[in-house]
Amino acid sequence: MSDVLAVLADVLPPERVVSPAASPLGERLGQVVTGPDRPQAIAFPQTEAELAQVIATAHRREWRLLVCGNGTKLTWGGLAQGLDLVVSTARLNQVIDHAIGDMTLTAQAGVIVSPLQAQLAEHQQFLAVDPAYPAQATLGGVVATADTGSRRQRYGGLRDMLIGISFIRYDGQLAKAGGRVVKNVAGYDLMKLMTGAYGTLGVISQLTFRLYPVQETSRTVVLSGPATELRPLMATLGRSPLTPVAFDLLSPALAASLGLKAEFALAIRFQAIAPGVTEQVERLQTLVPEPLTPILLTDQDDQTFWPQIQAALFPDPPTDATAIVVKLGLRPTAVVDSLECLERLAPDLALGCVHATSGIGTVRLTGDLATVAVVEALRSRCQEWGGYLTVLEAPKALKQILDVWGYSGNALPLMQALKDQFDPYRRLSPGRFVGGL
């Protein structure tokens, strides 16, 4: 028995401390860990107190640890370096409080998104996220990677809907911020800081979100055509009084995979009471120039269309171990340019989806296109447009030669200072974040 396993045997029951080889997470760990040292154990604490005890033990023993939930996004971000232990929050999977009248939810980090949405739907409420791998993704992992999805158009990002958080510090102490009140102004806004930090500042144990009512009617309008037609239309729609829930531009290859024409496609979703949706769809149709013919998706077609986009970008289980998936962040004015550039670099093959208003998007490259050269060419253009490109998924060999996070601008010293405050010994998910943090 390894030293780590032996020590943790006094902290957790034996069935909740296993070797990587004995866990489904073990195979994924091989894709994310670099350096000569490999984690000796995976711990599955079941309560917040157990989680704190595991982290405190790791601190005393000077272990370097990697944090995850179910591991769906374990391969996102940078490669972890020199690990001793993996800590999974997957078994912290209880809903603590659902305040139906206040429309807030407090749940542990290991709660899985899809079953939670089904539970909330019984009360005509939902959490406004549509992340990758929803059938397995945990709330903690979704927050740690800031994986919001297309609903960002109407409801904002995770930083906007997360109103409370509990996390375990590097030394095993419990820290809390925010609460169950939607307009909470007390204390520091640690919720925004922990969102998208990839577990490098603390181990999330509990989260409180604002919820939203399920709308009566949902309709999606899809417009396919050349970029020259869609670019001015997107600008017009952005200035209009329309309030879509989702507003995405799809690459020709992604559109074709969804059964649409192999052209650029603009997907616009409206949700509200039935008369409101009808009125918005009609207003949209008056703004569409003649060469474009709207396709209206209703009922089941509308409900399945958006999950199909996520499934195409993030197949579950993965269909190509050599694929590269990147995240884009652009000015809204560069959204069309980015997918046009992608089409030139990888004609008819690259799957791309960019949220038209926020400029955040995802691109999936497969086969011969999954190369460092294509990624660097697309990143170069994104940076020229004042944006960024981050590598989410890629073969380990490519991540070892690619700069996963890209240019960090003048923010790196600030991020290093935050890391010094929250993890002074650099033992929480080392190497996963920008600049090797």
- Domain termination site, one of 213, 246, 272: 213
Eight-state DSSP code of residue 371: S
Residue 341 lies in a domain: yes
Q: Are residues 208 and 227 in the same domain?
A: no
State residue 355 phi and psi, 5-degree precision: -75, 120
Which CATH number fits the domain that encloses residue 341? 3.30.70
For the chain, what is the domain count?
4
pLDDT at 345 over 90: no
Q: What is the mean pLDDT of residues 88-116?
A: 97
Residue 414 lies in a domain: no
As given in the structure block, the two tokens for residue 237 are 């729609």
Amino acid 188: pLDDT: 62
pTM for this predicted structure = 0.94
Give me the percent of the chain exceeding a pLDDT of 70: 97
More confident: 346 or 123: 123
Residue 404 lies in a domain: no
Residue 384 lies in a domain: yes
Q: Are residues 139 and 86 in the same domain?
A: no
Q: Are residues 99 and 82 in the same domain?
A: no
Beta bridge partners of 17: 43
Which CATH number fits the domain that encloses residue 249? 3.30.70.2190
Amino acid 144: pLDDT: 96
Q: What is the mean pLDDT of residues 371-390?
A: 90
Average pLDDT, the chain: 91
Amino acid 1: pLDDT: 44
Q: How many CB atoms lie within 10 A of CB 376?
A: 14
More confident: 319 or 163: 163
Which CATH number fits the domain that encloses residue 159? 3.30.465.10
Q: Which of 21-25, 28-32, 218-222 has the highest mean pLDDT?
A: 218-222
Q: Are strands 351-355 and 203-210 parallel, antiparallel or unpaired?
A: unpaired
pLDDT at 157 over 50: yes
Question: With the CA atoms of 199, 202, 204 and 208 taken in that order, what torsion angle do they form, in degrees rounded to the nearest 10?
Answer: -110
Q: Are residues 297 and 349 in the same domain?
A: no
Q: Are residues 288 and 344 in the same domain?
A: no
Amino acid 437: pLDDT: 81
Amino acid 187: pLDDT: 53
H/E element, 113: helix 113-121
Residue 182 lies in a domain: yes
Amino acid 182: pLDDT: 52
Residue 416 lies in a domain: no
Which CATH number fits the domain that encloses residue 42? 3.30.43.10
Amino acid 318: pLDDT: 74
pLDDT tens column, 173-208? 999 988 765 554 445 678 999 999 999 999 999 999
Q: What is the mean pLDDT of residues 79-90?
A: 94
- Domain termination site, one of 166, 196, 213: 213
Q: What is the mean pLDDT of residues 234-238?
A: 91
Amino acid 179: pLDDT: 73
- CA geometry: angle 247, 251, 256, nearest 5 deg: 105
Beta bridge partners of 249: 266, 354
pLDDT tens column, 307-332? 999 999 999 877 778 889 999 999 98
Q: Determine contact, residues 342/379, Cβ cutoff 8 Å.
A: no
Q: Determine contact, residues 103/211, Cβ cutoff 8 Å.
A: yes
H/E element, 88: strand 85-88
Residue 407 lies in a domain: no
- Domain termination site, one of 313, 346, 369: 313
Q: Are residues 104 and 209 in the same domain?
A: yes
Q: Determine contact, residues 113/131, Cβ cutoff 8 Å.
A: yes
Q: What is the DSSP string of 298-329?
A: EHHHHHHHHHHHHHHHS-SS-S-TT-EEEEEE
Residue 421 lies in a domain: no
pLDDT at 306 over 90: yes
Amino acid 189: pLDDT: 79
Amino acid 185: pLDDT: 45
Q: Residue for token digits 């209703």?
A: 298
The boundaries of the domain holding residue 306 are: 217-313
Q: Are residues 99 and 200 in the same domain?
A: yes
